Structures are given as C-alpha cells and as structure tokens.
Amino acid sequence: MEHLECCARLLRRTLVHAAVRRYLPWALAACMLAGSLLKELSPLPESYLSNKRNVFNVYFVKLAWAWTFCLLLPFIALTNYHLTGKAGLVLRRLSTLLVGTAIWYVCTALFSNIEHYTGSCYQSPSLDGVRKEHQNKQQCHGGGGFWHGFDISGHSFLLTFCALMIVEEMAVLHEVKTDRSHCLHTAITSLVVALGCLTFIWVCMFLCTAVYFHNLTQKVFGTLFGLLSWYGTYGFWYLKAFSPGLPPQSSSLNLKRDSYKE
C-alpha cells in the first residue's frame, strides 16, 4: 500500500498540475509532427513496438476507449460524489462518458467511410493491379487483396482524446481530501495510479504511432480530430450551463476560462 501511495503522490504532482493540462495538447501535436518527420526522413529500425501485434496494441490501444471508460466511470463517480454529495450532479458528470462514447463512435465511423469511398482494391501492397470486382474493404481482404484509401489514423485520434480526457478529469484531485484509513481513500488512490499508468501507455503508444505507422497527413487529421474533440467539449461546451460540466473545483469555471484565453 505504501508503494501505491508513493505512485499516487507522484501522479498528483505531475498529471494533476494545471501546466500539464495546458501544454499536453501542444506536446502531443509537436511529438506527432516530429515523429512523422523522423519516419519520413530517417526511419527507425523495426522493433517489437513496430509490430502491430505487440501486446500494448492488441490488448490496450485497440480497446483504448473501453479502458478509459471503465476506469473513469468509478473515478468520476467516487470523486464527484465525495465532493458534492449530490447524486444528480454525479450522474450529470458521468454523462461526459456518454459524450465521449458518441465522439468515439462517430469519428471512427467517419474514418471508416472516408477510407471506403477513397479506396480501391489492389493485388498487393505495392498497389499493382486494381481488382474492380471487390467494392469494399471486407470483400477485398476476403479475396486476398489489399485495400488502399485515405486511412485517417484512428490511433492518433483516440489516444489524443483519451489522454486529454483523463488529465482533465484528474484535475478534481486538487479538491479531494480523504482519510487514509477509509476504504474510499484506497479506492481513489488505486484509480489514480491506474489512470496515470493508462495515460502513460496512451502517450507512449501515440509516439509509436507517430514514428512507425501511417503517413504525415493521416496522422495530422487523426490528431486534429482528437484535439478538436477535447477542446470542443472541455474547452467550450462543458463551460456552458447546459452540459455535463467540468470536474468540481474551486472557481473551476473561471480558472478554465482564463487558461484557454491565455
């Protein structure tokens, strides 16, 4: 338990800091551009992380929204109820997860449709010989072909959005004070460590996507969708009265408005 406490304290001093919420979006965009340029100009040698079947990609990234949803659900519920004691407000704040689910669904469906309508089926990855008998990606792959279209990076989108959403929700820890002997303290501490580790994985895999996968344009669009989804919710809509709202903090609305003005 002592090790868990140390990890939680470290995360409180880093991820919960206002500067992280302010500069992480810019850092992600810069890393995406730098990694993409590195991939184009001086590709890194293949490694375990460049294999799409690596454990982090298969069991974490491909389930990124599920992991984020399942950990934020109890975290938001416990911290917001502890601070407000109002079930209605907790339910309102939990609706951020429904909004996030809608954003994830709409964006991934949009990306899939764009790839479909801009793509064609080829005999090989070298784009030799168009196979016109296959009209969609599923048929193409089923027939042993290779589908090539404008494939916006879903990883860049989702990892950006998930990392920023976790950091935004963890801002509530500035206000949370619990008795160390209480089971609530253990639950929140465990969730803080889990969410911190998850954020670290999302950022690392975002960097791997930047240096190993997709082209620059695909990653720019993916990252841009992630940033716009975050800013459109936490930077704009959640500041309004008719919205899920921001995590409860002292003068949170004014602080948030000031941070975005800067």
CB 84 within 8 A of CB 248: yes
Q: Are 136 and 116 in contact (CB under 8 A)?
A: yes
Name the β-bridge partners of 130.
122
Helix ranges, the chain (H)? 2-14, 18-41, 55-59, 64-84, 87-117, 137-142, 154-169, 183-212, 216-234, 252-261
Q: Out of 82, 134, 174, 214, pick the active-site residue.
A: 214
85 vs 88: CA distance, rounded Å: 9
Rounded CA-CA distance 238/225 in Å is 18
Instruction: Report the distance separating Cα 5 and Cα 38, nearest Å.
Output: 38
Cα–Cα distances in angstroms (integers) from residue 252 to residues 67, 118, 168, 169, in the given order: 27, 44, 11, 12
Structure tokens at 179: 């008795």
Q: Is 185 a catalytic residue?
A: no
Rounded-to-integer distance, Cα 260 and Cα 239, Å: 11
6: buried, middle or exposed (CB in 10 Å: 19+, 13-18, 0-12)? exposed
Active site residue 155: yes
Q: Which member of 17, 82, 116, 155 is catalytic? A: 155
Q: Name the residues annotated as catalytic.
A: 155, 214
